[in-house]
């Protein structure tokens, strides 16, 4: 069952499932969905009353997860367009030629393509290649640092994810969105540290945030920068 409450100017949508349980539980997923698990025969009025009391916490959780939702506007891949690389803006310069290439020269990303329709594919491949190298390089010292917590990822892989910057599987595999290559190094470190913390604490408990703060005292600053990147 899907419903909603109003909290100030914010509308919070939620879904409810009922089961043989004693208490009412509220969860905010990384996709920012609000899930309510309620005892059988709990009235919707009681559910909404509980949600209103927890609304500040719900909105805080949704805001937190927002930083993991890439939402950059679609690009046209034309000369003069601005593209990001490691947090810096570069102008796209497209030229036609027989030898296809992508080069970072000064304040420009220069793409040479056999025809202009190839620019997007060439640039995407360039970003992916650089992400494979740079993200692994940035992750290496952080992984080493986390060994003192007696944890280590089983592997780190890149995967395009429409709504996540990163994730950690129960088996310890860390998945990073290659789009992170467009973010500043501090933002990349923040996402990697966040996922490494999940190797110690699977959920977003108080202990999880304490660990994240110990490992990166200014993580909130980089979280904000990552959110700004999405505009």
Residue 128 lies in a domain: yes
Comparing 28 with 162, the larger pLDDT belongs to 28
Residue whose token pair is 């509220």? 26
> pLDDT tens digits, residue range 36-75?
999 999 999 999 999 999 999 999 888 877 766 665 668 8
**Residue where a domain terminates, one of 66, 91, 112:** 66
Shared domain check, 110 and 58: no
Give the range with max mean pLDDT: 19-23, 73-77, 123-127.
123-127
Which letter does DSSP use for residue 136 in this model? H
Paired tokens of 193: 């540290």
Contacts 24+ apart (CB under 8 A), 196-204: 196/142, 196/143, 196/146, 196/151, 196/153, 196/168, 198/168, 199/146, 199/149, 199/151, 199/152, 199/153, 199/168, 199/172, 200/146, 200/149, 200/151, 202/170, 204/61, 204/64
3-state secondary structure of 13: strand
Residue 77 lies in a domain: no
CA torsion angle for 190, 193, 195, 198 (degrees, to 10)?
Answer: -130
Supply the range of the domain harboring residue 41. 2-66
| Domains held by the chain: number | 2
Residue 54 lies in a domain: yes
Q: What is the pTM of this model?
A: 0.72
C-alpha span between 189 and 165 (Å, rounded): 12
Residue 210 lies in a domain: yes
Residue 188 lies in a domain: yes
Q: What is the pLDDT of residue 69?
A: 63
Shared domain check, 62 and 89: no
């Amino acid at each position: 069952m899907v419903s909603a409450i109003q909290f100030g100017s914010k509308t919070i949508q939620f879904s409810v499932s009922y089961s043989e349980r004693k208490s009412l539980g509220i969860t905010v997923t990384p996709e920012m969905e609000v899930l309510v698990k309620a005892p059988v025969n709990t009235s919707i009025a009681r559910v909404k009353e509980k949600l209103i009391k927890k609304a500040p916490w719900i909105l805080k959780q949704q805001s937190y997860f927002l930083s993991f939702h890439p939402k950059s506007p679609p690009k046209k891949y034309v000369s003069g367009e601005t593209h990001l690389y490691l947090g810096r803006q570069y102008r796209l310069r497209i030229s036609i030629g027989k030898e296809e290439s992508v080069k970072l020269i000064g304040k420009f990303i220069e793409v040479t393509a056999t025809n202009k329709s190839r620019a997007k594919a060439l640039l995407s491949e360039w970003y992916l290649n650089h992400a494979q190298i740079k993200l692994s390089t940035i992750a290496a010292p952080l992984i080493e640092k986390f060994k003192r917590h007696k944890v280590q990822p089983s592997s780190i892989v890149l995967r395009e994810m429409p709504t996540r910057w990163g994730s950690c599987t129960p088996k310890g595999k860390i998945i990073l969105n290659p789009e992170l290559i467009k973010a500043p190094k501090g933002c990349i470190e923040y996402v990697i540290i966040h996922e490494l913390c999940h190797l110690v604490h699977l959920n977003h408990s108080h202990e999880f945030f304490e660990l994240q703060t110990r490992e990166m005292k200014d993580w909130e600053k980089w979280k904000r920068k990552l959110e700004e990147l999405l505009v």
